[in-house]
Structure 1
Amino acid sequence: MLNSMLSDRAIRIMLVILTTLALCLALYVSKSVMAPAVFAVVVGIVVSPIADRLHRIGVARVLIASSLLLFSCAIIVLLFLSLEPLISSVVEDLPKIKREIKSWVYMLSGLLRGIEAISQEIEETVGSGAGAQDLATGFPTLMDALWVAPNFGAQVFIFIGTLFFFVLTRNDIYAAAGPLGKRLYRAEHDVARYFAAVTMVNAGLGLATAIGLAAIGIESAWIWGLAAMLLNFVLYLGPLVMIAGLTFVGMTQLGGAAAVMPPALFLALNITEAQFVTPSIVGHHLHISPLVVFLAIVFGLWIWGPVGAIVALPALLWAGQLLRTASAEPKMNETPVA
């Protein structure tokens, strides 16, 4: 009897492990289809309160879906176009960054005289000749762009179609789901409210970052403020990318010891936002363990790349709220026993 129970338990554990591995493999293989589709659903959930308000005042569903699709796509395109000068400036400043790193190498080699061999290897790595050639060969060619273009176009088409039909038929899908539809609606409503509050906080962080960077003399400070706002949606990883970028900006525009001022400024603002502003505005009603959030973002980045890192937190919050509403529902429906 005991052996039979142990064997059944071992079989169930193995089935769970195999199912998890198969699901991860399926998500990885289908990333070109699933990533834009899930991203579209996340955007649809975020804009769902706007869709509900327009529907209550009598606007047709087709007009709601079309207008929100155009609005969402326009916002995404404008954000990318706004960040394009930042990317171009970073590419143009690569030689300056290399020269600054090289000066830092010389300074370190003077302080650490016992490791001349290591410093020479570092200098060779960031040397002007081979390094520039390596950087040049690292950029995609025209053939690479032509190869990627059809795949990118297909993903854009999947995103547009999924977002349009999700907003158009969302209420019908929830109604057909029965009791599950009510839980889905409550979960997406809570997540949409959460992201509305987080968007306000991130906008304030971006504005403060832009003002602070402009005050210390950083060029294109408003673009870096926009980048700070967008990257802060990706917890942990986004601020790290921002700190690394501002470190390079400090090297190229300020130099010397002043190079640490831009990343230090952003780090102070980010800590203030994470420890005081966000908890006071958003609250703890959607609190999830930081370890779970970090692992979810890393998992999304591993499976689907940058898109996975973006959708990981919304999907985690949505699933967490769905489970909370499911567990709380029996308690709300309990009736006292006579």
Structure 2
Amino acid sequence: MLAILTGIAIITALYLARSIVAPITFALVLGVVVAPLADKLEKVGCPRVISASSLLFVTSTVIVAAFLLLEPLLSALVEQLPAIKRELRSWVAAMSEFIRGIETLGREIEETVGADGAAETESALPSVMDALWLAPNFGSKILIFIGTLFFFVLTRPELYAAAGPLKERLYLADRAVYRYFAAVTLVNIGLGTVTAVALGLIGINDAVIWGVAAGLLNFVLYLGPLMIMTGLLIAGLTQFGGAAALLPPLVFLAINLSEAQFVTPAFVGQRLQVNPLVVFIAIIFGLWLWGPVGAIVALPILLWFGVLMNPKVMSSIENT
């Protein structure tokens, strides 16, 4: 009972303090991924403060660039809401010819996605960057993220030295996660490139941006590809209509399945694999706890603790 109450208290504290804990955790996860680069730079004579500053600049630039690349895509989808709703109404009209009683459902859908409602929805939805900059305490979260990432990379050797017997395990867990995400990053770059080429061949607008989005969101297992498929279905509805609207998500599904079944196992191997159910629950729990940030950091935290607590995994990595 004490363990249950302690777990509930910890989860409640993490939820209530999410405005502080979420950016700190996100920074620590990125720090674990980039800190081995700082170690390598230090070995070749680069001062720790310079390597930490450089990695902070590069990491922040990549995150900002990701938002800037995805924002036009999401804004375009929002602008296409009226066309999407018109296509949905045509689908409902076609279905009503075969299903008795569908007229009532069709009227409800038309009332929900009517022209007036579409205009109100379109005007009410801000762009992604507007929402970010207008969000309460967003500036303080940025400062927390930057400060945590910089000082973690800068003082990581001292922090791990203070851990005593856990020092070697901490370095080993960091190295395992770093290697894993280096491999996954290469896979996702390939996935994004293939997705952009395939969508361009079938005539999807902004195929390059879709490829970038596919590569970035593929870091969030299961949910990321599902979001891309949903977005491509919307894009198919606005550009093709009818049954052809299913072509873009089906193309991406084929690419994603090929990546998940053949490419990722070949690059990443079996060493750090975790039960898919555990991964899915961890991502859903992280999404509930801290929103999108929680979904992003759930798998890195799961892998880090798994390697830290599993001697067999650690020994296998140590021998590679």
The normalised TM-score by structure 1 is: 0.89
**Residue of structure 2 in register with 1:38 after alignment:** 25
Contact preservation (8 Å) 2:307, 2:314:
no
Deviations 1:33-92 (A, max 9, x none): 010011001111111221111010011011011111001001111111111211221121
**Residue of structure 1 in register with 2:38 after alignment:** 51
1:138 deviates by 5.1
Matching of residue 251 in structure 1 with residue 240 in structure 2: no
**Residue of structure 1 in register with 2:309 after alignment:** 323
1:170–1:92 Cα change, 3 Å:
same
CA distance in 2, matches of 1:161, 1:26: 22
Aligned pairs for 1:26-105 within 5 A: 26-105=13-92
Moved more, 102-111 or 237-246: 102-111
1:230 deviates by 0.7
1:86–1:328 Cα change, 3 Å:
closer
CA distance in 1, matches of 2:108, 2:190: 44
| Unpaired runs of at least 5, structure 2 | none
| One of 180, 201, 205 as aligned partner of 1:219 | 205
| One of 292, 302, 309 as aligned partner of 2:278 | 292
| One of 159, 172, 184 as aligned partner of 1:198 | 184
Aligned pairs for 1:1-338 within 5 A: 14-137=1-124, 139=126, 148-149=135-136, 151-325=137-311
Q: What secondary structure is seen at the aligned counterpart in 1 of 2:42?
A: helix
1:301–1:146 Cα change, 3 Å:
closer
1:115 deviates by 2.6
CA distance in 2, matches of 1:326, 1:284: 13
Amino acid at match of 1:90: L
Q: What secondary structure is seen at the aligned counterpart in 2 of 1:47?
A: helix
CA distance in 2, matches of 1:261, 1:219: 14
Question: Percent identity between the aligned chains?
Answer: 57
1:144–1:92 Cα change, 3 Å:
closer
1:249–1:49 Cα change, 3 Å:
same
1:118–1:57 Cα change, 3 Å:
same
Rg larger for: 1
Amino acid at match of 2:115: S
The normalised TM-score by structure 2 is: 0.93
**Number of equivalenced pairs:** 314
CA distance in 2, matches of 1:221, 1:144: 25
Q: What secondary structure is seen at the aligned counterpart in 2 of 1:32?
A: helix
1:20–1:90 Cα change, 3 Å:
same
Q: What secondary structure is seen at the aligned counterpart in 1 of 2:310?
A: helix
Deviations 1:101-146 (A, max 9, x none): 1111111112213332222212222211234324534559xx9888
Contact preservation (8 Å) 1:96, 1:252:
yes
Q: Report the RMSD for the aligned CA atoms in angstroms.
A: 1.9
Contact preservation (8 Å) 2:70, 2:209:
yes
CA distance in 1, matches of 2:39, 2:132: 40
CA distance in 2, matches of 1:252, 1:132: 16
1:148 deviates by 2.4
Amino acid at match of 1:222: V
Amino acid at match of 1:239: P
1:327 deviates by 8.7
CA distance in 2, matches of 1:326, 1:160: 35
Contact preservation (8 Å) 2:78, 2:122:
no
Amino acid at match of 1:36: P
